Structure formats: C-alpha cells, structure tokens
Amino acid sequence: MIIHPSRSNSWWKDAVFYQVYPRSFADGNADGVGDLAGLTQRLEHISDMGVEAVWVSPIFPSPMKDGGYDVSDYCNIDPMYGDLATFDRFLERAHALGLRVLLDLVPNHCSSEHPWFQDARSSRDSAFRDWFVWRDQPANNWTTFTGDPAWTLDERTGQYYLHTFLPEQPDLNWANPDVVAAIGDVLRFWFDRGVDGFRLDVIHCIGKRIDAADPPEAANWGHCPFNDVDETHELIRGLHKIADSYPGGRALVGEVFLFDLQRVATYYGTPDVPELDMVFNFPMIYSPWSAADLRARIDATMSALTPRQAWPAWALGNHDNPRQRTRYGSLDAARCAAVLLLTLPGTPFLYGGEEIGMSDAEVPPSRRVDPIGRDGCRAPIPWDGSSDHGWPGGTWLPMPADAEVVNVAEALATPTSILHLYRTLIRLRRRPALREGSFEWVDSPENVLAYRRQTEDEADECMVVINIGPEVSFPPGAGWRVCASTSGVVGDLFTGRLSAQSAVVLERPR
Ligand code: GLC
C-alpha cells in the first residue's frame, strides 16, 4: 500500500522537535543543576543541528517529587531554573534562532504543595475541595505507576483522594468547570507570553469514570486504558479552541499513553472538529529493536492515522525510557534509529542527548532521585572532554561513564560522529520527498527495513534502507546514490552491501 500523508501548511508538520530535559541540559550558575540561563547559552547547539522546535520538560515551581511533573504553580518558573524574566530571555533567544518553544503542561494532576490542594485538604468545606477527587472509601482498584493504590487517606478530613501517580500528585477533578477554566487560563498565560504550544502530559487521563465498575487487571500500568473515556475528548476540544484563538497556529502535542493505536488516533479528533495536533506513538518507543516489530508498528500507526488525515508524531525515546544506545545495545543501532526517526512520514521528536549517542548513566542507590528508576536516561549532557564536562558546579546526577569520549565537543570534531549524521539527516528532510512524500515499503530481506518516499509528481524520490541484523546484501536496483549513511560515507553509488546495524538514505542522481 502506498500512503500519502495529508499535509496542510502547519509549521509543526515541517519541524524536527528536540526534547530538552532542563535539569540536565546546561548549567548557567554552576550549582550542579541545569537551568534556563544555561539552556539559553547553549541553544545554538540545537539550532545548528537544523532543529526548528524544542519541547522543554516542566520548568514550573515544583517540590520535584516526580522531576517537575508535580507542579505547585502553573504560572511561574521554579527558582532552580530562573524566573519569568529569565524565561522571557530564553524565549526571545529561541525565537531569534528560529526555534519554536513548547512547554510541558501537566493538567491531570498538580503537586500536593499547590495552593489549590493545600486549601482543598484544609477542610471538607474548602472552596477548592471539589477541584480534586474525594471519596469516603477508595472508589475502585486503580493503582499508580508505582503499583500502589491510587487512593490515599487524608487523615485530617477523613476522606481518600485520587492520585494516578504519587500521593504527592493529587488528580485534578476535570468534571468541575472551575478546573477546566483554571487550566484554560494557564494556557492563555503562556500563549500570551509567546510560547508556541504545549506537550500535554498524560492528557488521555483527564476525563474519568471513577465510580464505574472496577476494571480487571490491565496488562500495562494500572488502569490507564480504562481512563480512555469520551468526556476527555470534549475537554481536549476545549483546549484546542483556546490554542486556535491565537495567531500562528499554536501546537498541542499529547502524551496518550495507550497501546491500541486505533484508540490513540481518536485523540486527533477530525479535520472539522480537531483535538490534538499530534499524539505520541508509544508502541514505537516500546518496540523491540527488530525489523519485523518495527514494521508492524509503523503499519499499525499508518493504518490508524491515515483515514483520519492525522499527522504522525514519531519518538524513539524520552525522559521516561532508557536511551537508544542502552536500549538497542550499540552505538550503531542508535545511528540506525536516527535514520529511522528522521525519514518516516510525520514529525520526529528527538530526545536531547541522543544526538551524541549518550548511554544511560549508572546511578548508584545513594544518588537515585526518581521514584521509579528513570534516572539513567536523565543524566546531564557532557559538553566537552574536560574533567567537569562543562558542569563546573558538579552534577545532580552522575554523568554516563564514557563522558570523556561521548560529549558534544568530541562529536562536533568528528566528521563521522552520530551528531553529524543527525545534522545530515535533518538537512536532508528539507527535501520534498522526505518532508511530504508518500511512503511505501520495498521488499527486502528479513532484518532489513526498506521504504521509498516520493513526491506526488515523482520529481523527488528517496529510498531508506536500514539493516537491523548481521551483514547482508540488498541491491535495490541500479542508479541509487547514497545521500546519508550511518558510516558517514556519502556520494557513492550504493553497492547493496550493508554491514551489521547500518543504514543508508538513497537518492536518484538528477
Ligand atoms: C508522564 C511523564 C512522566 C511523569 C508522568 C506523571 O508520563 O512523561 O515523566 O512521571 O507523566 O506526570
């Protein structure tokens, strides 16, 4: 089947996105923690790659029980990162470099330190009581992402409150119009400041049928599949209307942590009644590194999204999962992953640090920070080979063990590094075939993913060949020239020989 991605002019369809984990990106005040000043100073690292948009993980005031996904004030900046003035300078610099900025909004829950919850738990009569979900007894058997019950007794007022995540992250009650209005105001606050959109954390969870019958045990983390209810779609349509009321098209990208791609696709809404502009595709992140699995998941994505004219968002990692080099087992595999991510039809999201081929850090028990063990992929980015790697105040998490050789300066100085591969691929994406061309599988050996991308008028055509197995020969016909490759060699006619874990992007010489 040939698939033609639907494409109307929206900046986010053409952009490559880069996820910044701000605590680990760059440290401007040498206190061992990344911050907005550091990020602003190092923004050119991102824009020089050809990236056009950044998504910054939460930078709002937070007690940091869940790495900032526990927000105690939605309209401010955590002092660890700076303040609103530092943020404005960051945004201005990003825009000047041609980078759009997405913030990370966490609408399902806030921190137990948020004044809304502090007030709500002060008495059953609090004006904010109904902003959260209270019951005399746990209303269902839902569990959190740690596997513990999702209901905690509030001793003072004698009722249980719901928390899909940690007890320090009470769920907001989206059945209450005041909550809907308050989060709408948060969107406007940041849009008015000039942000270009939001990544919306676990957005599929905001509507809930709390008193419905207990669901059976779900295979994947607790109850989430059961939270996939119609009420949520209406709420998302409301958020989309707010985004739409601003000029320039502000993007809403949703984290919909579901594994049934047909269900995931419903979160795009329809062209007439839009919901999210893009929705992350988790089956890809969780795919084994095998051609058959990846092919099946790409097919499932395309067949779910194409009928809805929905635009795919591809990610192969984020701050919640081991890095590609660690997960897929080698730097060569991570290079192949770069080729895959940047040549599929849709918008790629690249997790900061992947561009230099970082591995997860080994984090000894005494230095662990995250309650569910995601520290390894959140380690600071080593900027150079010096003893502090560009972090003169130390680092809040240990660096990966190989930082002396795997760092930004080294990657820049090495023409065949994965960083230069990323740069080449991002430049290549400006070609019409890769930006908007059709997608069609090409018959290939078992461990090889091969696909063709072609513009409608057939004027531009590329072929992508990714070998996820041992060395193999795959001559795809005469006359294909290599325009990007994991080995770094380009310009030659393709011989059809692919070493183990290697990939090429091919073009027809014109
Ligand atoms: C999302 C975030 C994750 C966080 C969770 C709760 O899955 O990516 O880091 O722990 O939501 O907010």
Q: Residue 170 domain-assigned? A: no
Ligand 1 contacts CB of residue 256 (under 6 A): no
Q: Residue 41 domain-assigned? A: yes
Same domain, 262 and 327: yes
Q: Strand 134-135 vs strand 100-105: parallel, antiparallel, or unpaired?
A: unpaired
Helix (H, G, I), strand (E, B) or coil at 269: strand
Same domain, 47 and 135: no
- Rounded to 5 degrees, what are φ and ψ at 444? -155, 165
Same domain, 219 and 302: yes
Instruction: Give pLDDT tens digits for 310-319.
Output: 999 999 999 9
Tell me the pTM: 0.96
Count CA within 13 A, CB hemisphere, residue 479: 5
Angle formed by the axes of helices 177-193 and 230-244, nearest 10°: 30
pLDDT at 141: 83
Atom 5 (ligand 1): residue with closest C-alpha?
A: 69
Helix (H, G, I), strand (E, B) or coil at 134: strand
Ligand 1 contacts CB of residue 280 (under 6 A): no
Ligand 1 contacts CB of residue 69 (under 6 A): yes
The rounded Å distance from CA 11 to ligand 1 centre is 26
Same domain, 384 and 235: yes
The rounded Å distance from CA 293 to ligand 1 centre is 25
CA neighbor of 59 nearest in space, from 32, 31, 88: 88
Same domain, 98 and 31: yes
> How far are the Cα atoms of 4, 141, 204, 230, 232 from residue 216, in angstroms, in the given order?
39, 9, 19, 20, 21
Mutate-to-test residue for ligand 1 from 201, 280, 286, highest number of ligand atoms within 8 A of CB: 201
The rounded Å distance from CA 194 to ligand 1 centre is 25
Task: Note the residue count of the chain.
Answer: 510
139 or 17: which leads in pLDDT: 17
Atom 2 (ligand 1): residue with closest C-alpha?
A: 201
Atom 6 (ligand 1): residue with closest C-alpha?
A: 69
- Token readout for 173 is 């009650």
Question: Residue range 402-406: average pLDDT?
Answer: 98
CATH of the domain at 132: 3.90.400.10
Catalytic residues: 201, 255
Can you list the pairs that 71-80 forms with residues at least 24 positions away whose Cβ atoms lie under 8 Å?
71/106, 71/110, 71/111, 71/114, 72/110, 72/111, 72/113, 72/114, 72/115, 73/114, 73/115, 74/105, 74/110, 74/183, 74/186, 74/189, 75/186, 75/189, 75/190, 77/36, 80/23, 80/33, 80/35
Ligand 1 contacts CB of residue 99 (under 6 A): no
Q: Residue 167 domain-assigned? A: no
Domain count, the chain: 3
Mutate-to-test residue for ligand 1 from 103, 165, 224, 374, highest number of ligand atoms within 8 A of CB: 165
Ligand 1 contacts CB of residue 320 (under 6 A): yes
CA neighbor of 503 nearest in space, from 361, 375, 359, 338: 338
Amino acid present at 72: S
pLDDT at 299: 98
Same domain, 245 and 342: yes
Q: Strand 481-485 vs strand 100-105: parallel, antiparallel, or unpaired?
A: unpaired
Same domain, 136 and 245: no
Share of the chain above pLDDT 70, in %: 95
CA neighbor of 340 nearest in space, from 329, 330, 349: 349
- Token readout for 302 is 């395309």
pLDDT at 104: 98
Instruction: Give pLDDT tens digits for 158-217.
Output: 999 999 999 999 999 999 999 999 999 999 999 999 999 999 999 999 999 888 766 665
pLDDT at 413: 98
For the cut 80, the answer to whether the pLDDT of residue 363 exceeds it is yes
Atom 12 (ligand 1): residue with closest C-alpha?
A: 69
3-state secondary structure 296-356: HHHHHHHHHHHHHCCCCEEECCCCCCCCHHHHHCCHHHHHHHHHHHHHCCCEEEEECCHHH
Instruction: Give pLDDT tens digits for 408-425.
Output: 999 999 999 999 999 999
- Token readout for 146 is 């740690």
- Token readout for 100 is 């759009």
The rounded Å distance from CA 202 to ligand 1 centre is 7
Q: Print burial letters for 201-212: b (CB count within 10 Å at least 16), e (below 16).
A: bbbbbbbbebee
Q: How far apart are CA 292 and CA 297, in angstroms?
A: 9
Say if residues 101 and 91 touch (Cβ distance below 8 Å).
yes
The rounded Å distance from CA 235 to ligand 1 centre is 20
Q: Residue 412 domain-assigned? A: yes
Same domain, 70 and 188: yes
CA torsion, ordered 218, 220, 221, 223, to nearest 10 deg: -30
Instruction: Give pLDDT tens digits for 316-340.
Output: 999 999 999 999 999 999 999 999 9
Atom 7 (ligand 1): residue with closest C-alpha?
A: 202
pLDDT at 14: 93
For the cut 60, the answer to whether the pLDDT of residue 223 exceeds it is no
The rounded Å distance from CA 319 to ligand 1 centre is 9
Q: How far apart are CA 432 and CA 430, in angstroms?
A: 6
Instruction: Give pLDDT tens digits for 445-492.
Output: 999 999 999 999 999 999 999 999 999 999 988 899 999 999 999 999
Instruction: Give pLDDT tens digits for 435-448.
Output: 999 999 999 999 99
For the cut 70, the answer to whether the pLDDT of residue 218 exceeds it is no
Instruction: Give pLDDT tens digits for 236-284.
Output: 999 999 999 998 889 999 999 998 999 999 999 998 999 999 999 999 9
Ligand 1 contacts CB of residue 106 (under 6 A): yes
Instruction: Give pLDDT tens digits for 6-65.
Output: 556 699 999 999 999 999 999 999 999 999 999 999 999 999 999 999 999 999 999 999
pLDDT at 278: 98
Split at pLDDT 50, 70, 90, the class of 221 is: low
Can you give the residue range of the structural domain that contains 137?
Answer: 115-162
CA neighbor of 97 nearest in space, from 41, 55, 59, 57: 41
CATH of the domain at 28: 3.20.20.80
pLDDT at 2: 66
Helix (H, G, I), strand (E, B) or coil at 484: strand
